């Protein structure tokens, strides 16, 4: 299966190349050239783009495991964003972006075929070669080099830049497909963050279990104490919930972003991120708060990702409004409508 191949490749490439030293260097402003070269060499950024657009031809559902792996390994490159941008470009009939790509959930203006505007909170805006925006009902792919950059970071020291364009000529342009919601990029960003959170929670669970089995207190491993076992069970529960919700959103969005499924996934994943990080730090105790231990590489990203492309409360309110509009008799059909048929059978 394509999905298994993607997962195996991602674990090999990211697991072998991403080290604490690499993440520290990237947080200090270094671009991990070797890592990105390996990503491109293995076609990971093109995984969900159709072959006709220069991609690998995998499905968007298949790409879930790649983006989850990027979260698990705290990948200090815009891998998730590049996969998303190339998938959207392919669905719109455009060729995949050359090199790395990112997206801006806020739009600018398109006049006489030229783009102007200020795009904020762009992941890896100064490092990615291209940025995708929506303006005037169009998907607009821009060269990042055509914009002036103001650097900024999230709590994990990942770049979240502002790019300002003044009458820039797009690299590619196409009408937003009629079936796509105007907030497509916000939805796409929320979807990839939910998958990254699921991956990060998986990393926390493994780290907490390993520590609990090794840390000796009162003559035995702390993992033998019922209170610790209970906390680890809660962390496993949050990890499974986030992963299931995120994968359902990917499965429901094969041909266009599914607003209802994505809203649910991001709300669930964001809540799980907060609870999971708290549990992991409680299990590891004081050592988990030191810079020398690598736990913070994951927890700082979870704290950042849960707020990006819409917070937990933003998406929870969105879910609530959607269900309230259905009326008493329409709630269950609405829930089932956002559950893909193959997921429901599984």
Domains along the sequence of the chain with CATH: 2-175 (2.40.110.10), 184-345 (1.20.140.10)
Q: Are 323 and 334 in contact (CB under 8 A)?
A: yes
Task: Say what the pLDDT of residue 346 is.
Answer: 40
In the predicted structure, residue 216 carries a pLDDT above the cut 90:
no
Give the whole-angstrom CA distance, residue 168 versus residue 326. 43
At 308 the three-state DSSP class reads: coil
Rounded to an integer, the average pLDDT of 27-52 is: 96
Rounded to an integer, the average pLDDT of 210-233 is: 92
In the predicted structure, residue 127 carries a pLDDT above the cut 80:
yes
Q: Kindly report the number of other CB atoms within 10 A of residue 152's CB atom.
A: 14
Q: Dihedral sign, CA of 203, 204, 205, 211? A: positive
Confidence of residue 338 (pLDDT cuts 50, 70, 90): low
In the predicted structure, residue 343 carries a pLDDT above the cut 50:
no
Task: Say what the pLDDT of residue 345 is.
Answer: 44
Rounded to an integer, the average pLDDT of 121-131 is: 96
Q: How far is CA 100 from CA 85, 130, 171, 184, 338, in A?
A: 9, 7, 14, 20, 31
Angle formed at CA 198 by CA 6 and CA 55, multiple of 5 degrees: 30
- pLDDT tens by residue, 143-164: 999 999 999 999 999 999 999 9
Percent of the chain with pLDDT over 70: 97
- pLDDT tens by residue, 186-201: 999 999 999 999 999 9
Task: Say what the pLDDT of residue 3 is.
Answer: 87
Cα dihedral 268, 274, 276, 279, rounded to 10, equals: -150
- pLDDT tens by residue, 77-116: 999 999 999 999 999 999 999 999 999 998 899 999 999 9
Q: How far is CA 208 from CA 19, 86, 249, in A?
A: 19, 35, 27
Q: State the DSSP string of 120-188.
A: EEEETTTTSSEEEEEETTEEEEEEGGGSEEE--B-TT--BEEEEEEEEEPPSEEEEPPTTS-TTHHHHH
Task: Say what the pLDDT of residue 65 is.
Answer: 97
In the predicted structure, residue 2 carries a pLDDT above the cut 90:
no
Task: Say what the pLDDT of residue 326 is.
Answer: 81
Confidence of residue 341 (pLDDT cuts 50, 70, 90): low
Rounded to an integer, the average pLDDT of 256-278 is: 96
In the predicted structure, residue 340 carries a pLDDT above the cut 80:
no
Q: How far is CA 107 from CA 53, 88, 138, 154, in A?
A: 24, 16, 10, 21
Strands 148-150 and 109-111: unpaired
Q: Which has more confidence, 326 or 95?
A: 95
The pair of three-digit structure tokens given for residue 125, joined into one six-digit string: 């805006």
In the predicted structure, residue 226 carries a pLDDT above the cut 70:
yes
In the predicted structure, residue 344 carries a pLDDT above the cut 60:
no
- For residue 94, the 8-state DSSP code is -
Q: Are 121 and 172 in contact (CB under 8 A)?
A: no
Q: Is 132 exposed, middle or buried (0-12, 13-18, 19+ CB in 10 A)?
A: buried
Give the whole-angstrom CA distance, residue 117 versus residue 134. 11
Task: Single out the residue of 5, 62, 4, 7 nearest to residue 202, CA to CA.
Answer: 7
The pair of three-digit structure tokens given for residue 245, joined into one six-digit string: 């919700």
Task: Say what the pLDDT of residue 1 is.
Answer: 74
Confidence of residue 328 (pLDDT cuts 50, 70, 90): confident
Strands 130-135 and 101-103: parallel
In the predicted structure, residue 329 carries a pLDDT above the cut 90:
no
Task: Say what the pLDDT of residue 138 is.
Answer: 94
At 78 the three-state DSSP class reads: coil
In the predicted structure, residue 309 carries a pLDDT above the cut 80:
yes
Angle formed at CA 22 by CA 78 and CA 236, multiple of 5 degrees: 70
pTM over 0.85: yes
In the predicted structure, residue 333 carries a pLDDT above the cut 90:
no
In the predicted structure, residue 10 carries a pLDDT above the cut 60:
yes
Q: What is the average pLDDT score of the chain?
A: 94
Can you say how many angstroms the Cα of residue 21 is from the centroid of all Cα atoms in its chain? 22
């Amino acid at each position: 299966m394509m999905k298994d191949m993607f997962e195996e490749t991602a674990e090999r490439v990211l697991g072998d190349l991403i080290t604490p030293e690499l993440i520290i260097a990237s947080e200090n402003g270094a671009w991990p050239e070797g890592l990105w070269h390996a990503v491109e060499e293995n076609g990971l950024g093109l995984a969900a783009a159709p072959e006709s657009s220069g991609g690998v031809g995998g499905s968007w559902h298949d790409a879930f495991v790649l983006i989850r792996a990027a979260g698990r390994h705290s990948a200090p490159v815009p891998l998730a964003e590049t996969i998303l941008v190339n998938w959207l470009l392919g669905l719109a009939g455009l060729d995949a972006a050359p090199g790395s790509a990112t997206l801006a959930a806020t739009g600018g203006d398109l006049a006489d075929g030229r783009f102007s505007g200020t795009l904020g909170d762009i992941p890896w805006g100064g490092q990615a070669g291209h940025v995708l925006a929506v303006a005037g009902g169009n998907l607009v792919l821009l060269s990042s080099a055509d914009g002036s950059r103001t650097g900024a970071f999230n709590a994990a020291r990942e770049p979240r830049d502002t790019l300002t364009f003044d009458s820039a000529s797009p690299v590619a342009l196409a009408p937003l497909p009629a079936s796509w919601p105007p907030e497509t990029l916000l939805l796409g960003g929320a979807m990839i963050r939910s998958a990254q959170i699921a991956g990060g929670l998986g990393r926390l669970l493994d780290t907490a279990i390993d520590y609990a089995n090794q840390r000796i207190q009162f003559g035995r491993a702390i993992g033998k104490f019922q209170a610790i076992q209970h906390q680890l069970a809660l962390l496993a529960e949050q990890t499974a919930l986030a992963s299931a919700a995120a994968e359902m959103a990917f499965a429901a969005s094969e041909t266009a972003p599914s607003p209802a499924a994505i809203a649910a996934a991001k709300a669930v994943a964001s809540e799980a991120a907060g609870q999971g990080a708290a549990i992991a730090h409680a299990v590891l105790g004081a050592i988990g708060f030191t810079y020398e231990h690598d736990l913070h590489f994951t927890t700082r990203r979870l704290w950042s990702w849960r707020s990006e492309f819409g917070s937990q409360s933003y998406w929870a309110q969105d879910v609530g409004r959607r269900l309230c509009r259905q009326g008493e008799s329409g709630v269950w059909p609405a829930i089932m409508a956002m559950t893909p048929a193959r997921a429901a059978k599984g």
